[in-house]
Structure 1
Amino acid sequence: MSVNGYQDIVQGPLQAYLELSKQIGGDVAAHAALVNSAFQAQLRYIQLATQRSKPSQNEEVSLLAPTSDQISSIQQFREKNRTSPYFNHLSAISESIPALGWVAVSPTPAPYVKEMNDAGQFYTNRVLKEWKEKDKRHAEWCRAWVQLLAELQAYVKQNHTTGLVWSGRGSGGAPPPPPGGMPPPPPALPEVDFSNMTVDDRSALFAEINQGEAITSSLKKVTSDMQTHKNPQLRQGPAPFKAAGKAPGKPLPAPGAGVMDKPPVFMRDGKKWLIEYQKGASNLVVENPDMNNVVYMFRCRDSAVTVKGKVNGVVLDSCTKCAVVFDNLVSGVEFVNCQSVQMQVLGKVPTISIDKTDGCQVYLSPESLDVEIVSSKSSEMNVLIPKGNGDYSEHPIPEQFKTVLSKPAGLVTTPVESKG
């Protein structure tokens, strides 16, 4: 099903994009040929995953080389043709083609594909603005590319929800043989001859049980001189059997916990600002970002980041006691697996997502009072709304819910307010 689903994408949405690229011609058609090669390379990689177990990290890099080389060629083509009249077309593809890197992303590859698709739409909007009055084929081309990545996201979500699935059979080579016929019958039970068992044998157990209280009459009484708690010298013998105690389970990692001895990272990688393993850094500043950029904080502690300018989104992943302040966001801010985090928006933010986070303070601006907040598996969440005099009013986000059955409407869920 995994291979068939991907082949449906190659034969459907991809072919529609290739056909429109061919109609436009020029650099767009040449660029599309490289895109086709990248999808074909990924199809071969997915076919390989159905034939073998997950490779080692070094081998995985080698197996991914054909796909990554094609992605690099696509992006280099854009850089070599900056004077092309179709530069926005080339940029739309180059910014979003890293979506094919989902095969190396876990545990949430589908949102990664969407993120890449959103990054490319900055340039598809430019194409629409430039060509909508000149040639409608360019608008169809934009829709075809966006739809292609949307289909890829749906495919990943359905077939590889937490990462690329490997078959777990063998170490590669030829595909497994097709299954043949019905499975072999289970081994026969050992033969037991019940004919030689007498009635007395069969009823012996029941006879014992039916004695009632008399069943204990044959037991030997334990006198006081036989009790070890009254006679310490009896404890010097061999220790009685003790059931093996249950081994203490490995504690689950706390959100934001993990290896912190890695060197801190603060760099821009394409459209993504990477802020990783920072500790005690309270004056981090992201300056002059582009509107399609994403600021990504990962495993930071006791740190604060200020984002100056408008960016696409901000993500805090596995951070502890961190804060972020930003001006405006195109999509939204997201907290995942965090502890004791804070955010403040000075301008506009459409959405706030809080997932598996304990302790989140959200400071809103007057322009962001229509924000949508989505929370799941989180606690200690508070939204602070400006009053107008420089102060804030605090409002907790419900953590408990009550569900009742209502015959006309089915299940009805309402938040439960804390009375403590």
Structure 2
Amino acid sequence: MEALVERLEQAVVRLEAVAVKLQHCPGGVANGDIISNMINGGESQSMEAFDLLLSGSVSEYVKTSTSIGGEVAKHAEMVNNALQIQRTFLKMAMTHQEPSKAEMVNNALQIQRTFLKMAMTHQEPSKTELADLLRPLSEQIHEVQSFREKNRGSSLFNHLSAVSESIPALGWVAVCQKPGPYVKEMNDAAMFYTNRVLKDYKDTDGRHVEWVRSYLSIWTELQSYIKDHHTTGLVWSTTGPVAPSSLFNASSDGPCPPPPPPPPGPPPVFLDNSAAPDDTAAQHSALFAQLNQGDAITKGLKHVSDEQKTHKNPDLRSQGERTLQDSPAKRPSASVRAPAKKHSPVLELEGKKWRVEYQDQSPDLLIEETELRQVVYVFSCNSSTLQIKGKVNSIIVDNCKKLGLVFDSAVGIVEIINSRDVQLQVMGKVPTISINKTEGCHVYLSKDSLDCEIVSAKSSEMNILVPEGEDDYREFPVPEQFKTVWDGSSLVTEPTKIAG
């Protein structure tokens, strides 16, 4: 209530100032000018509120991050740059009209659009799109998140994760209805990691506790700012020019990051090589004129006598065959198989997916620092061994040969597909293992995973090994051959005695 009263008092002060100016103005002021002045005052107040956020919580966050140093300080600099970009964007939104929304079209519609535009005489529509304006901010957010992924071994990884998970909150400017709750969701995502920071440092280093407080307050104050000035979405000007395609063409106010990359290139090349509209129309006219001749269209065809017809003259057929045999240009060439493309091995985290690809003769592959929502995708790995520590969401092994996979636990499915000679060992728990189109698969279960469901299809040489004693396993083959009979009312299928 105190904040509301203070805002009302400020509004009254501004209105009184306008009244004083009206009294001292000899010719008076038009109503439109009064309204314009009030709107400009609101815009100024909105920017002042955002600047207060930058000079308050953001400044404290940067300061505490600098005192901690290392990756946290570098990350803070990126976050500060992103906020400065957003300030420039907000400044532009107050003086420009909203640009047209970027269309999401597939290639076929894009080709059709180009064709229709070519056939029409109207000028090309404006290219000022919201996506172009938000590109610098989006790239800065991506840079912040990529920095976390490049420093997964850092002792300050929880700090980096808190920032990386919540920085998308700056995308509130593209949320149409309720940007405030969206920012709160991002803030909640950060708190999962900030709680870890507090647990590690609350009794040893107060700088990290202050860092958590200052960082979370950024999003708390941003929610208040949105509630006060952009409750139902970013407020654009209704009288200014349409926003330019580049954010930094609109205003030089405040520190500006590097300009965005150049816009996308022209339409596909094949469109440029097509005939010009006038030539195309002429070609179409000529074609329709020929079709409209009716029977007269055959008058231009050349008459072929019986002596020139190959089906009535065996000599012509034999000459044609000799020509084909003697012609080196038409002789079918021996097929030459192109060398297989060599792929570089990959072991990296891409978003929420661990990619392990094209590993060959790698016996010590290891994935650590896993999270519950992450998936692991293993593709085209040969004669290698992969160990996954921690609990992940799911694991997929695709097109691998002689692969050994050892993992702790998975909350979802572990799937083996299109592979050969795979050995799988579960150290903890897994609800389901799927084996599909695979030749040779040995699954070693733990005592905690004996309730696992194993689903197989189009596979052979499958064996399940269950623990027996301390360090021993007992092997059971999975049936491959089945017998199906009709019992009078339905089909009954059961494995045959020679199965496995």
**TM-score category, normalised to shorter length:** 0.3 to 0.5
Query: Greater helix share, 1 or 2?
Result: 2
- TM normalised by structure 1 equals 0.43
Higher Cα radius of gyration: 2
- TM normalised by structure 2 equals 0.36
